[in-house]
Amino acid sequence: MSWVQGARVIVIGAGISGLSTSIRLARCGAVVRLVDMRGDPSAIAGNHPSFNLTLGVRGMRVLEALGIGGAVRRSAVFALERCLHRTDGTCEHERYGRADEGIYSIRRSALLGELLSLAQQESNIELQFGARATSASADGLVGLSCADGSNETAEFDAVIGADGVNSSVRGFMSQLAPSVLSSARPTGIYYSEIYVGLGAECAGPLVHIWPRSPSFLISFPNRSGPTTVLVFIDRKGAQRPSKADVLRVARAAGVGSGLVEADLGQIAQLRTVQSSSWSSGRLVVIGDAAHAIVPFLGQGANAALEDSEVLLKAIKEAADWTSAFERFELVRRTEMDALGRMADRHFDELSGGLVDPDRRQRTRLRAKLSVDNPGSFRSTYNAVAFTHSSYLAAEQAYQEEEAQIDRLLTQGRNR
Ligand SMILES: Cc1cc2nc3c(=O)[nH]c(=O)nc-3n(C[C@H](O)[C@H](O)[C@H](O)COP(=O)(O)OP(=O)(O)OC[C@H]3O[C@@H](n4cnc5c(N)ncnc54)[C@H](O)[C@@H]3O)c2cc1C
């Protein structure tokens, strides 16, 4: 991999995928320029309200390898259980996985802060804030527009677009090759954050879920400060909900007494990304820029971290940037397609399935079979959050196990 030593790489976007990829590339000897259109590092890792991310074993393994696993664990709350709030006011506790399997709940700003300070320690990374990518070509020419009003065009050996769901780099790629079809598809599902904390009844290291089909609310524990609550509303293609609509859903669930509109964050629509190609010559997109999915399995950031690992492995195995980027897509696309399908389906689980009596019966049977067959009969969530098995394998195993559960339930009814 000597060809990477001293290579000049620009990474566009200092989010989770951009930071983790820059650190890995710098450690392999590349000279990295990491740019973000946001004004300064504190805007990325500041104290502004920021909803939580949950990290399972996939994301944690990458953070351990980077050397910040311990720091992230210290900033996070480890949740072994979730609490399901029914419409009749009762509440059921459910373990996430087996024995000590749980998820880390961490403020996005805290995770970005850890990654950012690691990047700042790498002498091979030049960080630049307030720099927006305005063009990029397959042979490495990148245009930047800077906050001080200046414009710059510079040439790089490789261009990595880690610029999120509304990626400009993905757009530049489609302009270069009109055969590349890409879109950030609106899902009709909206979300908003509630800024006030929950009462003492929701304290402790628990995730709380209020399934209220076609909506649900979910809250994540924090080490300090208020609990983070997110409201998701499926409008099924109808008009965008207003703040009054979001308040109605939250009040009906009994969340955050005395809530007013000022307690709500922006209302945003979830978008998913489809792109017929992730690379063009020496230009590639990663993370949400390549494959944004709905967040119902809490895997987007985990997958963005894993992307940096898969990309670096592809680079190590290739002889040049173009073939490395093609290899990255070949390995990763089927995986991310499977994760996207599973995440889409999981909305029904969170908004209703978790408390639906028929689904509960299946869950209990699955739990029993899982004890009898260690290693299999995991729920979709369990398989993606607590195993390193491929996303595609997790999807296939789940479908086969569902068919088996169907057969057992039919046999039970016919007896
Ligand atoms: C409501 C919600 C809840 C979620 N919960 C979870 C969860 O619990 N667990 C989980 O694993 N994932 C979760 N996710 C998904 C996760 O947030 C994303 O998958 C992850 O942030 C993707 O990281 P990224 O670095 O690829 O992109 P981003 O985090 O979007 O970062 C992109 C960066 O690029 C910069 N940028 C954009 N355009 C340009 C440009 N032209 N020039 C320069 N810079 C640019 C931006 O300023 C930004 O800093 C959730 C997502 C949502 C919406």
pLDDT score of 45 more than 60 = no
370 CA to centre of ligand 1 in angstroms: 34
The response to whether residue 228 sits with its C-beta less than 6 Å from ligand 1 reads no
Give the C-alpha separation, 207 to 245, whole Å: 24
333 CA to centre of ligand 1 in angstroms: 18
Of ligand 1's listed atoms, the one at least distance from the Cα of 36 is: 44
Of ligand 1's listed atoms, the one at least distance from the Cα of 299 is: 11
Cβ count within 10 A of residue 344: 16
To test the pocket of ligand 1, the residue of 16, 52, 132 to mutate (highest count of ligand atoms within 8 Å of its CB) is 16
CB 122 within 8 A of CB 115: no
Residue 276 Cα distances to 102, 341, 406, angstroms: 35, 17, 36
Helix (H, G, I), strand (E, B) or coil at 188: strand
Place 42 in a pLDDT band, splitting at 50, 70 and 90. Answer: low
Place 256 in a pLDDT band, splitting at 50, 70 and 90. Answer: confident
Distance of CA 71 to the CA centre of its chain: 20
* Predicted structure pTM score: 0.95
CB 219 within 8 A of CB 232: no
Give the C-alpha separation, 137 to 280, whole Å: 8
Give the C-alpha separation, 125 to 9, whole Å: 10
- Which of 180-189, 255-264, 313-322, 385-394 is least confident? 255-264
Of ligand 1's listed atoms, the one at least distance from the Cα of 307 is: 26
Give the C-alpha separation, 333 to 336, whole Å: 5
240 CA to centre of ligand 1 in angstroms: 22
What is the token pair recorded at 280? 């063009």
12 CA to centre of ligand 1 in angstroms: 13
Encode pLDDT of 130-151 as tens digits: 999 999 999 999 999 999 999 9
The response to whether residue 113 sits with its C-beta less than 6 Å from ligand 1 reads no
pLDDT the model gives residue 43:
64
What is the token pair recorded at 207? 């995730």
Amino acid (one-letter) located at 325: F
99 CA to centre of ligand 1 in angstroms: 31
The response to whether residue 35 sits with its C-beta less than 6 Å from ligand 1 reads yes
Encode pLDDT of 224-250 as tens digits: 877 789 999 999 877 899 999 999 999
272 DSSP β-pair partners: 185
270 CA to centre of ligand 1 in angstroms: 12
Give the C-alpha separation, 106 to 55, whole Å: 8
Tell me whether strands 103-107 and 141-146 are parallel, antiparallel or unpaired: unpaired
Length of the chain: 415
> How buried is 408 (Cβ within 10 angstroms: 0-12 exposed, 13-18 middle, 19+ buried)?
middle
pLDDT score of 86 more than 80 = yes
Q: Which helix (H) or strand (E) holds 31?
A: strand 31-36
182 DSSP β-pair partners: 275
Distance of CA 176 to the CA centre of its chain: 28
Give the C-alpha separation, 327 to 308, whole Å: 13
Give the C-alpha separation, 74 to 71, whole Å: 5
Q: Which helix (H) or strand (E) holds 33?
A: strand 31-36
CB 212 within 8 A of CB 353: no
pLDDT score of 90 more than 60 = yes
Encode pLDDT of 148-178 as tens digits: 999 999 999 999 999 999 999 999 999 888 7
What is the token pair recorded at 316? 């190590």
Q: Which helix (H) or strand (E) holds 310?
A: helix 300-317
What is the token pair recorded at 53? 């991310």
pLDDT score of 325 more than 90 = yes
The response to whether residue 133 sits with its C-beta less than 6 Å from ligand 1 reads yes
DSSP state letter for 277: -
Give me the DSSP letters along 102-161.
-EEEEEHHHHHHHHHHHHHH-TTEEEEESEEEEEE-TTSEEEEEETTS-EEEEE-SEEEE
The response to whether residue 16 sits with its C-beta less than 6 Å from ligand 1 reads yes
What share of the chain has pLDDT > 90, as a percent? 70
CA nearest ligand 1 atom 23, residue: 16
Give the C-alpha separation, 273 to 279, whole Å: 15
Average pLDDT over residues 373-395: 88
Pick the residue with more confidence: 46 or 277? 277
CB 117 within 8 A of CB 41: no
Pick the residue with more confidence: 329 or 400? 329
User: 347-362 b/e with 16+ CB inside 10 Å = b?
Assistant: bbbbbbbbbeeeeeeb
Of ligand 1's listed atoms, the one at least distance from the Cα of 287 is: 26
To test the pocket of ligand 1, the residue of 10, 53, 168 to mutate (highest count of ligand atoms within 8 Å of its CB) is 53
Residues with Cβ within 8 Å of 413's Cβ and at least 6 positions away in sequence, in order, are none
The response to whether residue 97 sits with its C-beta less than 6 Å from ligand 1 reads no
Tell me whether strands 77-79 and 103-107 are parallel, antiparallel or unpaired: antiparallel
Average pLDDT over residues 35-56: 76
Encode pLDDT of 101-125 as tens digits: 999 999 998 999 999 999 999 999 9
343 CA to centre of ligand 1 in angstroms: 16
375 CA to centre of ligand 1 in angstroms: 32
Phi, psi of 224 (to 5 degrees): -145, 160
72 CA to centre of ligand 1 in angstroms: 18
To test the pocket of ligand 1, the residue of 36, 42, 146, 220 to mutate (highest count of ligand atoms within 8 Å of its CB) is 36
Encode pLDDT of 282-300 as tens digits: 999 999 999 999 999 999 9
To test the pocket of ligand 1, the residue of 10, 19, 37 to mutate (highest count of ligand atoms within 8 Å of its CB) is 37
